[in-house]
Amino acid sequence: AGSYAQVRDGMADRGWARVFVKPVHGSSASGVIAFQAHAGRVQAVTSARWSGGVLRNSLDVRTVTDEGEVRRLVDVLGADGLQVERWFPKASADGAPFDLRVVTVAGTPTHAVVRMGVGPMTNLHLGGSRGDLELVRGRGGGLWERVLDVCTRAAACFPRSLSTGVDVMVGADWRSVAVAEVNAFGDLLPGLMDISGNGRDTYAEQVRAVVDGRR
């Protein structure tokens, strides 16, 4: 999609009421819009805001309900191309939706953090917080194994990449698992030790993989 009209037409064709609109080239939720339309009303949650007539990224997530403003946002962002994803209902804990950032090194999941959101955005720099990984590891029913499997398969799509940061969503049913995106630079997780208990952070794990010839 490249415009607000195209986004709305695509949603109507598929019967989607809620989507995430993302610039095709971006990172750290820059320009991402959590958009929904229902009964003639629209709502867009985004960290993008105008400053001096220029659209800039911000750490302040805001909600826009004026359709003209939403149209303007999407049309400006659409100049570089947009990716539109159907909204995936995520599991919640203590009233907060969450997902996971799982880092893979040499194709293997090595580090994971639960990201608790205050809204549709779970990015830690946008107000999200680290949650307890046991939310998923201790859930049972093979959930943790499915998370690791889907991350391994996602990393396999990029065999020449030493590391990936896979954003994984657990469904509201606490059974389904889906990949939101795979990040080339998703390993900035200070103080997070590996899930195998080797005591290495994300960068030490990458160095270890290169030294061991596992790249």
Contacts of 132 (CB under 8 A, 6+ apart): 114
Strands (E), the chain: 18-23, 33-38, 41-51, 54-64, 82-86, 92-93, 96-105, 108-116, 129-131, 163-170, 177-183
Distance CA 6, CA 1 (A): 6
- Write down the pLDDT at residue 85: 95
Instruction: Write out pLDDT tens, residues 13-69.
Output: 999 999 999 999 888 888 999 999 998 999 999 999 998 888 998 888 999 999 999
The residue extents of the domains of the chain are: 4-86, 92-211
Q: What is the dotted CATH code of the domain comprising 92-211? A: 3.30.470.20
Region 80-109: what's the mean pLDDT?
Answer: 95
- How confident is the model at residue 215, as a pLDDT? 73
CA within 13 Å, CB half, 103: 25
Strand pairing of 163-170 and 96-105? antiparallel
Instruction: Identify the pLDDT of residue 167.
Output: 96
Q: What is the mean pLDDT of residues 151-158?
A: 97
Q: What does the pLDDT look like over 102-154, one tens digit per residue?
A: 999 999 999 999 999 988 989 888 888 999 999 999 999 999 999 999 999 99
How far is the first Cα of the chain from the last one, in angstroms, to the nearest whole number?
36
